[in-house]
Amino acid sequence: MESLDLRVLEDALAWRQAGHAVTLVTVVETWGSAPRPPGALLAVRGDGVVSGSVSGGCVEDDLIARTQAALNQPAAERATRPAMIAYGVSKEEAARFGLPCGGTLRLVQEPLQDTQWIATLLQRTADHRLVSRTLTLSTGEVTLHDAQRGQAMAFDGLQLTTLFGPRWRLLLIGAGQLSQAVASMATALDFEVLVCDPREEYAQTLLDRATPHVRRVLGMPDDVVRELQVDAHTAIVALTHDPKLDDMALLEALGSDAFYVGALGSRRNQATRKQRLAEHFDLSTAQLDRLHGPVGLRIGARTPAEIALSILAEIIAVKNTLAPAPVATAASCALA
């Protein structure tokens, strides 16, 4: 589940709490070249304000008009149970709504009544728990359960089960100029960004320039990694270029469930680091092989912004299970 869909739920909850009528729309099935995946959410407010997307803009105008008209009916006539709606069931409709390659969408429209489940779900995901939500179409009843990694969305025509995971999280070790560039780009990519640097002179500069979504975590890097309870939605990148800080963080990170662990430095420095970690800290070959270093994709990066781009490109690739084998960046080597 994309974190932008969590924002849709946040908006829907706020709108209902403010007294607005709200309908939640979920993509349940797609055929052809659909621009939004099953599970994608759209919230429509009674006055036509929307949050999210179910088609990237192809059917939204028609869907909003339909939903707004239904929400503005007298309360006694307003639908209170979920209903199915389909777009693009014929070539003519697909052309009319601009669905690419004759794609088809099936959606569930859900008038929001009780919103306690939204508050509970948002709290659980904030606690970095993976949650499944089951909607019974005949009654509108919603139940929440802890989900397992690898569990998939399910729809049998009677019940719809969707998954909501915690936001992707990036822990940066070091608060220097490169970390500032990485933090700025990572927030734009919707990562929750945490920065650990016990060196006050660096940390204060980052905090002075950081966006509101970047948070400093106090403590020594290895302690912070342990206390963070790192999960598979977390990436950790060591950028201080100081072995006293980077190595201790990497020691903990490589034994954690982090989906990505990287470190700045040249090939030579990375080889020396791996040898040091193996000899002094008894890390296994499998654990050491998890280390992406030199960090980042090879794009000829040289400036801090370019290096940050290469780092985040590799993190995104790994996150999306498309990563090639780690390769050196010219910039990483140049900074060694």
Q: Is 37 left (phi over 0), alpha (psi -120 to 50) or beta?
A: beta
Q: Which of 69, 40, 67 is nearest to 56 (CA)?
A: 40
The radius of gyration of the chain's CA atoms, rounded to the nearest angstrom, is: 23
At 194, which helix (H) or strand (E)? strand 192-196
Q: Which of 13, 231, 27 is nearest to 121 (CA)?
A: 13
Alpha-carbon distances of 328 from 5, 262, 313, rounded to whole Å = 35, 12, 13
**For every one of its 336 residues, what pLDDT tens digit does the chain have, with 9 covering 90 and above?**
557 788 999 999 999 999 999 999 999 987 655 567 788 899 999 888 999 888 766 677 888 888 878 877 777 667 789 999 888 755 565 556 555 555 678 899 999 988 999 999 999 998 888 899 999 999 999 999 998 877 888 999 999 999 998 888 999 999 888 999 999 999 888 898 999 999 888 877 776 766 667 888 999 999 999 999 898 889 999 999 888 899 899 999 999 999 999 999 888 888 888 888 887 777 888 999 999 988 999 999 989 999 999 999 999 999 987 444 344 343 443 333
Residue 87 phi/psi, 5-degree rounding, is -130, 145
Domains and CATH numbers, the chain: 3-164 (no CATH), 169-335 (3.40.50.720)
Query: Residues with Cβ < 8 Å from 253, sequence gap 6 or more?
Result: 225, 230, 236, 238, 261
> Is the pTM of the predicted complex or chain greater than 0.85?
no
